[in-house]
A and B are shown apart, each in its own frame.
Chain A
Amino acid sequence: MSTPIEPGGKFRYIARKRRTKEDRRFIVGAGRYAADIALPGTLHVALVASPYPFARILSIDPRAALAAPGVKAVVTGDELERATGPLMSGLDIPKVKRYPLAVGLARYAGEWIAAVVAESRALAEDAAELVEVAYEPLAPVVDPEAALEPGAPAVHPDHGSNLLYRRKFVFGPVEEDFARAAHRLSFRARWNRSSTVPIETFGVTASWNPATQLLDVWASIQMPKFPDQIARALRIPGNAVRVHFDVDVGGSYGVKRGIKHSVLAGYLARKLGRPIRLIEDRLENMRGGDAHGPDRIFDMSVAFEENGIIRSLRIRALDDVGAHVGRAPLQLGKPIGAIVGPYRIGSVEYEAISVTTNKTPEEAVRGFGQSPTNFALETAVDRVARHLGMDRIALRRLNLIRHDEFPYTIPSGSTYDSGDYHAVLEKALAAAGYDELVRRRDAARAAGRPAGIGISCCLEPSGGNAAFEPLLNPKNETTTWMEVCGVKVDLNGAIVATMGTSSSGQGHETLAATAIGEILERDPDTIRVVHSDSLTALPSNSPVGSRMAIMLGGAAAGAAEKIKAAMIRIGAHNLGAAPDAVDYSGGDVVLRADPAKHLTWDRIVEIAHRKFHRLPPGLEPGLQAMHVWEVPTGGAMPGPDGRVQMYPCYAFEAHVVYAELDPVTGQVRLGRYAVGHDCGTMINPDIVHGMTYGGIAHGIGAALYERFHYDAAGQLLSGSFMDYLIPTAHEVPEIEIVDHCTPSPLTTFGQKGSGEAGYLGAPAAIASAVNDALAPLGAQIATLPMTLSALGEILAAAHAAIP
């Protein structure tokens, strides 16, 4: 099954073709997702949602609903406000409170007003229609810039304004660089609201056992510190909440953070003494699931020289987080760690503004704000090239950080660990057949079809630290985001690894088994990896921020190293030799001076488990180890000027894509698509490639199709799969990935993160291609998604302008 990717590669199992451990259960339909958890006696929840984007809740009359068949309870926000604590926010905004159900005000259309609990979901839905809510509609604020105007309706009146966060960071001599540079240009880029929209909606089952005082939770979750947040909101000890991380999560890419769902289910389970199940339907998911993504306006200024050297940037990023505030505003902070992209830009000003409006709340989305930022940066680079009449690739070659400059510290204080951006870009251009693409584009243009080639060079900061927490909230002194893995070898010599978080498709079991197998020189296929529950695991910070290859990989390898060290000590002791006089080989310990003398894996395991009298003094019996891996480069608070090391490792991707537009309708057809990708050592190439293909598909959606569109009155117009368009196999072209490997000096095997790959560069590349196609017409677009109607209008205007 294992064939070397690179003959002579230094690894035994890593970086080689290997079937995943997880796929086996999914291909026979034996995954175990949140909706598959069926406990006896379970009650089901349906939700009453606000039809208004902004309204005062005058009264809620549950009587008719309570009289309906099978109904056990109707609860409201007032009850939850009395009985639970508010959900956590990432910012220091104590007057902006959030509960699972609206309290006093409905702040967006679709917000949950009441929960109806019944013997079946169907009965609960029947009864939800009978709950009578009296509203006093208020004028909503929908536009994020209007929300900042004096006199705008306040979404959270106690907070006093709709401004949640604003800070202008100045990194380096921005004023001077702008004054000195030969050229300046400015533009606005718009990243409209979309999200990851997994095919599985969010679901949770909670069950309270009064005899053990334990709340069991099975959820479709990908969220840092999820168990702690449930306990805090329910005002019970952390050790009274047991989150089962062995639930398979049907996709997340950031958003599976149903904290309000889970607190509500936990509260109801405790109140009613029966298991509670809350599974979103698709419409609830898209409107009231609180899982929209960044909704961002960039005002960009660039200062540059006649020869194309970019000196400085001014970025103003205004993000509309919607009506409630969780961690979403922190997505303005993470991009500071890669705020100049892969370029040698000497100074940058970055103003981050977070605004609340009467829309569905925003949640963390793949890249945590980096993909919109990359789109704005790459659009700036393309515009500089266009302004100077310079080739876009030559301009990038000129400004990209050079291979010999790493480690490279950018003005905002983050150091890029390693990279070879020029080599990756060249590989992508070669794979795309760039010269041939140029001929094709020019031929298409000559035949009257707008055609373009897109280029993007983007970073994927990885290793998920939480440095943006103290950066945006000085009261938060979080400086570690460790990850943990436990490894044990049982009496029969079999290896079991334990991880403390759930997975949503990233192949963590394969990852951990491969890392452990590599260290212990044992076949990863024979290693079992289990997802523990939150009570038996040490803390995890969950698979966010492209961190698990680095963090779980490092923790698993660290635990395996401890096992290996113990085995070497046992072997040496029983061979009558010093530990440095033996070799570890394939699980056996061999006397270096006389290789005929050795102890096998099985013998060492037996001694460890049964023969205390043969253990070296001071060694504990059994073979087990836990290893906690702190984020490399982590541990420091941001400086007063905001300079900070955000994430440790920086993967790089260069996209080249060909696009043609229908000359009348503007419909975009993507052609050749090549991406050069460098995420250091790939622990499992199939998994890395899969996430990259998927990220590109997701990026195609964000660039061309996907938008949570609101009308001026605050109603969501695209709240189903009929109108929120996710790319199908028809919209995603054949993609070629070209690998490159610049190992990270900071990690166990040289690996970097890759979970956000593709998505971080695809929207920028497709926007680049469309703009290249529009260039001969004198037109341009910097608004995503570039919808059919927007492009059709641009083409019509361009044709009308031709005399």
Chain B
Amino acid sequence: MSEHKIALTVNGARREAEVPSRLTLVDFLRDVLALTGTHVGCEHGVCGACSILLDGRPVRACLMFAVQADGAEITTVEGLAPEPGTLDLLQDSFWETHALQCGFCTPGMLIAARGLLAETLTPSDEEIREAIGGNLCRCTGYKQIVDAIKLAAERMRQSNAAGGDRVDAD
């Protein structure tokens, strides 16, 4: 098994590692970087639990090898909040509407929603369902997730002050 040197940015920090060629990106994040917020649900690209932002776009971390992420900029669920101990408006909206139960799909849902809200702050219900259409949730029936994303969009539209996308929830 050949090893490869990679360097990438994860949640704003530069990381370097030597990884076997067959190591998937999600296993790299979880097992090497100990970022266990990204979950493994199916390992065949359907459930979306492993979603991360790769150069700003939601992708499946189970369908990529770590070596393919060389040079990339990655955001995981651990990197969504502006600072440790805080929440961003999207996370806080998920809490407010109880957009989760067991929490297993939640990191992937947040990533999918973040990807959508980076493109538009006025998403329609259909656009929201399209954005999370590749993420399976078995607990919620999606209703409170759609509500959360709508709420987050509304709050983000109204928050035009610098640093407004932040909630000191603790």
Contacts and interface: CB of A to CB of B under 8 A. Distances in A.
Given A23-B103, A28-B37, A250-B103, A690 B139 contact: yes
A200 B39 contact: yes
B96 interface: yes
A721 B141 contact: no
Interface of B: 22, 30-31, 34-44, 46-47, 49, 76-78, 80-81, 87, 91-92, 94-98, 100-107, 110, 125, 128-130, 132-146, 169
A29 B44 contact: no
Contact of B133 (A691, A729, A735): A729
Given A28-B37, A36-B36, A199-B104, A23 B140 contact: no
B138 A23 contact: no
B144 A23 contact: no
Contacts of A697: 137-138, 140-142
Contacts of A403: none
Nearest to B36: A36
A506 B98 CA distance: 11
Interface residues of A, number: 57
A695 B137 CA distance: 11
A735 B39 contact: no
B78 A28 contact: yes
A199 B103 contact: no
Contacts of A729: 128-129, 132-133, 135, 142, 145-146
Given A198-B102, A250-B39, A28 B144 contact: no
Interface centre among A29, A197, A689 (most CB of B within 10 A): A29
Contacts of A686: 97-98, 144
Given A28-B78, A251-B138, A686-B144, 16 more contacts: A20-B95, A23-B95, A25-B103, A26-B102, A31-B37, A38-B34, A250-B39, A251-B102, A282-B43, A505-B101, A686-B98, A690-B98, A694-B101, A722-B44, A728-B134, A728-B136
B42 A720 contact: yes
A28 B142 contact: no
Contacts of B37: 28-31
Contacts of A689: 98, 144
Nearest to A692: B141
Interface string A584-598: 000000000000000
Contacts of A615: none
Interface string A248-273: 11111100000000000000000000
Given A199-B47, A200-B102, A735 B77 contact: no
Interface centre among A30, A122, A199, A687 (most CB of B within 10 A): A199
Interface string A160-201: 000000000000000000000000000000000000111111
Contacts of B44: 282, 720-722
A632 interface: no
Contacts of B132: 729
A693 B133 contact: no
Interface string A120-141: 0010000000000000000000
A414 interface: no
Contacts of A802: none
A446 interface: no
Given A28-B78, A728-B133, A251 B104 contact: yes
A720 B92 CA distance: 33
A70 B56 CA distance: 38
Q: Which 3 A-B pairs have the closest CB atoms?
A: A29-B37, A26-B103, A250-B104
Given A196-B138, A698-B138, A31 B104 contact: yes
Contacts of B76: 29
B142 A732 contact: yes
Given A28-B77, A690-B144, A735-B143, A198 B104 contact: yes
A506 B105 CA distance: 15
B100 A691 contact: no
Interface of A: 19-20, 22-31, 33, 35-36, 38, 122, 196-201, 248-253, 281-282, 504-507, 686-687, 689-691, 693-698, 720-722, 726, 728-730, 732, 734-735, 758
B139 to A, nearest CB: 5
A227 B130 CA distance: 43
A538 to B, nearest CB: 25
Contact of A122 (B22, B36, B137, B169): B22
A27 B139 contact: no
Interface centre among B100, B102, B129 (most CB of A within 10 A): B102
A26 B106 contact: yes
Contacts of B107: 29
Contacts of A31: 37, 103-104
Contacts of A253: 138
Nearest to A725: B46
Nearest to A200: B104
A721 B41 CA distance: 10
Contacts of B138: 196-199, 251, 253, 694, 697-698, 726
Contacts of B128: 729
B144 to A, nearest CB: 6
Given A693-B141, A728-B133, A199 B105 contact: yes
B95 A732 contact: no
Interface centre among A122, A698, A721 (most CB of B within 10 A): A721
A505 B102 contact: yes
B50 to A, nearest CB: 11
B146 to A, nearest CB: 7
Interface centre among B38, B42, B104, B129 (most CB of A within 10 A): B104
A282 B61 CA distance: 16
A209 to B, nearest CB: 24
A196 B136 CA distance: 13
A646 B147 CA distance: 38
A249 B134 CA distance: 22
A28 B81 contact: yes
Contacts of B105: 199
Contacts of A507: 101
A534 to B, nearest CB: 21
B143 A734 contact: yes
A42 to B, nearest CB: 11
A248 B103 CA distance: 9
B106 A33 contact: no
Contact of B39 (A33, A720, A721): A33
Given A27-B87, A28-B78, A694-B101, A730 B39 contact: no
